A and B are shown apart, each in its own frame.
Chain A
């Protein structure tokens, strides 16, 4: 297992380089000058009369050099040393920008994904075990309904029902004024995490049900039942483990999303996380910030895939990670 992880990590390096090269070049080739795009039109207008100021700034930022490899290598060299650069719009370091937002996003998304899994897998299993029952139809119908509800609708409904009308939870943000404790943060995360959990749980329920139905009709399940294994043991020990494989795949796809942030949910709940940062970075053509997002998302994708592979082996003993000797 250890060798496998090491090998995967080593393979990840060129993949990551590839991702950053493509991302870097693509960003640079998009229309718009990151320098002028970051300026207020009025400010820019004033500066246009002083092209030497703009030119000097372009030179200082290295924007006058060939994109590849020069600008890329400059960027990479700094990243390797832990210097992700500075946001051209906020003037703060990328480490500060990301560091102040990533924890909030992870806090929200980890809770949301955990809730989603905790809700979805039992519901999916029950739905599969009680196939074609009234319960199955209800759960399935609910899952389809929620899966087809846009997240902003659900978010707004939650805000207006639970925060504005019932005042059970705050409408938005991570903390109440002058509160910084975990209890307050958990109180604040309930609504956004619930919305995200529901949105993510809906497809998970469908996947779990389909996967479990597939497994439950397998010969080895019939054999287990024939041998007199208790029904709940057949479901949980024999069927569920195999049924988890597609769920793990789906979760591996959701993890990178969680790092990049849930843009709409963060907007509705004024959650100062990565999602909002990504939108602002894209609008402002903030190259360093965008590259940081690409890098972080790339790492998350690779790690999620690695975790998924390990998960496959844990769920299904037939999956061997190390090469056959």
Chain B
């Protein structure tokens, strides 16, 4: 009898335990360089911000009455990439950025055209013509979730911290903060914690002036990125670089991680997502469209089933092939957005030369692959990053077998009989396209292409630690947002993505690409265009990375979503406009 009672008790405890909420998270005591699952690729608009937009709209949205009966829950899902961190040093995945966008505020936001700058914490701003001095007037209504006001000191702390602990930064993007005059400025030498760089000046209680050491016309646009969110100095003031990896605030912990965005964490971030609750009486005078957002990180097949069963309201990035099957589901709408992540062939420059790379580019019939393999659901790229203008004198690498053979004959690597094409085994995008690429290269150049599908860990390991690979197929990046987003991929070793093993020197000396990127960032108008043209020519001729195409993204949402609901081309920024959304009961 006792044994039976014990068995029953154990069973009851198990069920209760399984049904209870997750146990309190214990965080790692010290720092560790963290994972940041590969950045989900972004989108499309090509317009790049020219130097320094000047006057901005001064008015913040005025108070709107809260609807009497709001629908309660918006259930959102996005594909499965996961990193349980919300601190900017580790932001990198779309899921993190979307979560950060609803819990935190940046100085400015961006509209869905990916160009127009909108107010967020700053209700107005100006920029000097030479794109070195920016002033921001903070919205005096802005408060943190604990009621403390958002102050100039919060902004100073957020920016200065990156110069105090530059080695903590895992995200290339945050480097922009270090360009502040008196900051770390890429020197590799941190400034003393607590020191405010001279480029940060308090004009009055709500106005700040930021002076950059080098002109940067992309500054405002980039500030709208989630990883530039302003952090609360009264909570994180003592945070060290090491702690940023694992502090409870940094991991997105309910009740601990607070921001100045319209939502708070209701549950801590886990592998499956997080729940958020709307702030009542949000400082912008308008509350979020729903009281709760359930944000799920899960496999797309699960999301598709949940959509069909009416268990989800919005799925960001549904596999395009699911589109027809979901079209007949009542109450669902689809958004098929051209271009997001970039499919690219990445070349090891010690194993290939420009002629060899060009030969491969000519040998591949990209339009046919898009039509036959991808069902037309992609936009053609022309070798250069899609954020660049397609200048008339650039080679578009239209399919041309004769030219491919000619070029191969001039290459120092013309005797290569076989090459290895590496790609990620887990991603179905690769398993569809890699064989097509293989076929074109083999048939048109007579080079045997060995396909090597790697799981993630060995893939990274192999590319990082070896120099005997030749080409790998990649999918991701955010080059489509603007030309400036490509800098990381062609930057000097030690600053950018060194695993590409690029030859970054040329007639302009070492780090030629990066020098041009930097130069363009400090210019505007025709002068900027001239530099960008030169850069595009170099990228097109030398093709360090050959951009193949941008697959379309399919987003599926409930027809109850309305108002200003929109998914940005860079879908990870879509929550920046969430206050404009409506959700019909």
Contact A40 B14 (CB under 8 A): no
Residues of B contacting A272 in the complex (Cβ-Cβ under 8 angstroms): 270-272
> Per-residue CB proximity of A56-94 to B under 8 Å, as 1/0?
010011000000000000000000000000111111110
A93 to B26, CA, bound (A): 6
Q: B499 near A: Cβ within 8 Å? A: yes
Given A42-B38, A61-B32: A285 touches B457 (CB 8 Å cut-off): yes
Q: How far, in whole Å, are A37 and B308 apart by their CA atoms in the complex?
A: 36
Which chain A residues border B14 with CB–CB below 8 Å?
Answer: 103, 106-107, 110
Decide: A185 near B92, CB < 8 A? Known: A38-B35, A49-B494, A284-B457: no
Determine whether the beta carbon of B302 is less than 8 Å from that of A268.
yes
A66–chain B nearest beta-carbon distance, Å: 21
With A45-B498, A46-B170, A61-B32 given, is the CB distance from A180 to B38 under 8 Å? Answer: no
B15, B245, B495: the one contacting A91 at CB < 8 Å is: B245
B458 part of interface (Cβ distance < 8 Å): yes
Q: A270 to nearest B CB, angstroms?
A: 4
Residues of chain B contacted by A88 (CB below 8 angstroms): 32, 35
**Complex Cα spacing A38 to B36, Å:** 8
Over the window 77-93 of chain B, the binary record of Cβ atoms lying under 8 Å from chain A Cβ atoms (1 yes, 0 no) is 00000111100001010
Q: Quick one: which of A42, A174, A184 contacts B497, CB cutoff 8 A?
A: A42
Do the beta carbons of B18 and A185 come within 8 Å of each other? yes
Q: Is the CB of B309 within 8 A of A41?
A: no
CB-based contact B172/A46 at 8 Å: yes
- Of the listed residues A36, A54, A87, A103, the one surrounded by the most CB atoms of chain B closer than 10 A to its CB is A103
- Residues from chain A with Cβ under 8 Å of B30 in the complex: 60
Query: B residues within 8 A CB of A21?
Result: none
Q: Note all chain B residues with C-beta closer than 8 A to A48.
A: 464, 498-499
Question: Is the pair A92, B26 in contact by a Cβ cutoff of 8 Å?
Answer: yes
Residues A270 and B171 in contact in the complex (CB < 8 Å), given A39-B35, A40-B38, A95-B26: no
Chain B contact residue count (CB 8 A cutoff)? 75
B20 interface residue, CB < 8 Å from A? Answer: yes
Q: A182-B19, A185-B15 are in contact. Are A47 and B305 (CB under 8 A)?
A: no
> A92 touching B498 by the CB < 8 A rule?
no
Q: Which of B31, B32, B36 contacts A40 (CB 8 A)?
A: B36
Q: Which residues of A contact B464 (CB under 8 A)?
A: 36, 41, 44-45, 48
C-alpha gap A41/B497 in the complex (Å) = 8
A38 touches B34 (CB 8 A): yes
Given the known inter-chain contacts A46-B170, A92-B27, A178-B292, please indicate yes or no for A172 contacting B38, CB distance below 8 A: no
- With A32-B458, A276-B271 given, is the CB distance from A49 to B495 under 8 Å? yes
B74 closest partner in A (C-beta): A177
Q: How many A-B residue pairs have CB under 8 A?
A: 209
Q: Is there an interface contact between A40 and B39, defined as CB atoms closer than 8 Å?
A: yes
Interface pair A45/B19, CB less than 8 Å apart = no
Contact check, A182 vs B15: say whether CB atoms are below 8 A apart: yes
Residue of A nearest to B75 (CB): A177
Q: Are B309 and A92 in contact (CB under 8 A)?
A: no
Chain B residues positioned under 8 Å from A93 (CB to CB): 25-28
Task: State which of A42, A49, A171, A172 has its C-beta within 8 Å of the C-beta of B493.
Answer: A49
Given known A-B contacts A88-B32, A178-B73, A37 and B38 have beta carbons under 8 A apart: no
CB pair B309 A163 closer than 8 Å: yes
User: Any chain B CB within 8 A of the CB of A249?
Assistant: no
A43 to B245, CA, bound (A): 13
Check A174 against B25 for contact (C-beta < 8 Å): no
Say if the beta carbon of B128 comes within 8 Å of chain A.
no
Q: Which residue of B lies closest to A189 (CB)?
A: B18
**B169: chain A residues within 8 A (beta carbon):** 46
Complex CA distance for A87 and B26, rounded to whole angstroms: 11
Q: Is the CB of A270 within 8 A of B272?
A: yes
Among B83, B301, B458, B493, contact of A31 (Cβ-Cβ < 8 Å) = B458
- Could you list which residues of chain A lie within 8 angstroms of chain B, going by C-beta atoms? 31-33, 35-50, 53-54, 57, 60-61, 86-93, 95-96, 99-100, 103-104, 106-107, 110, 159-160, 163-164, 167, 170-175, 177-178, 180-182, 184-185, 267-270, 272, 276-277, 280, 283-285
Top-8 shortest CB links A-B: A49-B494, A107-B18, A40-B36, A37-B457, A86-B28, A93-B26, A103-B17, A103-B18
A–B pairs, 30, beta carbons within 8 Å: A32-B458, A36-B464, A37-B457, A37-B460, A40-B39, A40-B170, A41-B38, A41-B464, A43-B92, A44-B460, A46-B170, A53-B33, A57-B31, A88-B32, A92-B251, A96-B22, A99-B22, A99-B23, A106-B14, A106-B18, A164-B305, A178-B292, A180-B21, A185-B15, A185-B18, A268-B301, A268-B302, A270-B298, A280-B82, A283-B455
Listed in ascending order, the chain B residues whose CB lies under 8 Å from chain A are: 11, 14-39, 73, 75, 82-85, 90, 92, 167, 169-172, 245-246, 251, 270-272, 292, 294, 298-299, 301-302, 305-306, 308-311, 426, 455-458, 460-461, 463-464, 488, 493-499
16 extra A-B contacts, CB within 8 A, seeds A38-B34, A164-B309, A283-B426: A32-B458, A37-B461, A39-B36, A42-B488, A49-B494, A61-B32, A86-B29, A91-B32, A92-B251, A93-B28, A99-B23, A100-B23, A100-B270, A104-B18, A172-B306, A269-B302
